[in-house]
Amino acid sequence: MRKQIAAANWKMNLTLQQGEQLLDDIISQPHSLKENQQVVFAIPAPYLAMAQQKLRNKEQVFVAAQNCHSKKSGAYTGEISVDMLSSLGVHYVVLGHSERREYFNESNAFLAEKVNICLENNITPIFCCGEPLAVREAGTQNEYVALQLKESLYHLTADQLRKVVIAYEPIWAIGTGKTASSAQAQEMHAFIRGNIAAAYNAETANAISILYGGSVKAANAVELFSQPDVDGGLVGGASLVADEFVAIINALQ
């Protein structure tokens, strides 16, 4: 059975104290996770140790980094290596978020290197893909996303690819309050799964969790997560509000 995931992306928000309070407020509220369901918190790097400590006894709840470097170690001032993440016990890392692609010029090829080093070190990449508004308006979103997958993921073996979580995040829906309709999300998720099936096989495609991201909130999560190819969400703004994020966790089907 595919994993269903409610993943919070705090981005560059909150102080340490605010982050601790938010985690406390979320984990103290009742939420029931089925066997195949997980909650992931992608939080700022300086708070990873705090979050690991706080969540260490919580089953099915994991900490993610928001980025890592493609090299093991060395003269890369300010960067974070997978060894550093592993030494903290971090399980997941978000890769290729549209903000990193746009503001830090992360290319598909560079992301392929990051995917490799994560997998080599048993860290699960949450690989983000998704088209800008102009591409959606031109109707070429499938080709755009297919190229992102091909150039960053399709060098992997099927066994490796199965360890990757994909997050489809249409850029026009991130932080804009403009959510893709559940039909638009399902259509793209089905396309991604079909694309993986064509490049690999149906078994591999069916094993991969594909999350939707882009203005997910408590009010739309049930509808989005009820789509057959939507396996949960990557949530920015709404993950900073405890009641909202708990409702999103509880919307996992």
Return the residue nearest ligand PEP (CB atom).
Answer: 236
Q: Which is nearer to ligand PEP, 85 or 234 (CB)?
A: 234
Q: Which is nearer to ligand PEP, 160 or 250 (CB)?
A: 250
Nearest residue to 58 (alpha-carbon basis) of 33, 82, 83: 33
Shortest reach from residue 50's CB to ligand PEP, in Å: 21
Active site residue 169: yes
Q: How far apart are CA 99 and CA 174, in angstroms?
A: 10
Q: Look up residue 76 and give its two tokens.
A: 């890369």
- CA distance to 98, 99, 151, 172, 194, per residue, from 136 (Å): 15, 18, 20, 9, 19
Active site residue 97: yes
Shortest reach from residue 210's CB to ligand PEP, in Å: 14
- CA distance to 1, 17, 34, 72, 123, per residue, from 165 (Å): 14, 30, 18, 22, 11
Q: How far apart are CA 175 and CA 177, in angstroms?
A: 6
Catalytic residue among 99, 131, 169, 244: 169
Tell me which residues touch ligand PEP (CB under 6 A).
9, 11, 97, 169, 174-175, 213-216, 234-238
Q: Which is nearer to ligand PEP, 125 or 237 (CB)?
A: 237
Rounded to the nearest 10°, the torsion over CA 170, 7, 68, 172 is 10
Catalytic residue among 97, 99, 131, 189: 97
Residue 162 burial by Cβ neighbours in a 10 Å radius (0-12, 13-18, 19+) = middle
Shortest reach from residue 203's CB to ligand PEP, in Å: 29
Nearest residue to 192 (alpha-carbon basis) of 212, 173, 210: 210
HSE on the CB side for 166, CA within 13 Å? 33
Q: How far apart are CA 245 and CA 221, in angstroms?
A: 10
Shortest reach from residue 25's CB to ligand PEP, in Å: 18
Shortest reach from residue 232's CB to ligand PEP, in Å: 12
Q: Which is nearer to ligand PEP, 101 or 193 (CB)?
A: 101
Q: Which is nearer to ligand PEP, 11 or 189 (CB)?
A: 11
Residues classed as catalytic: 97, 169
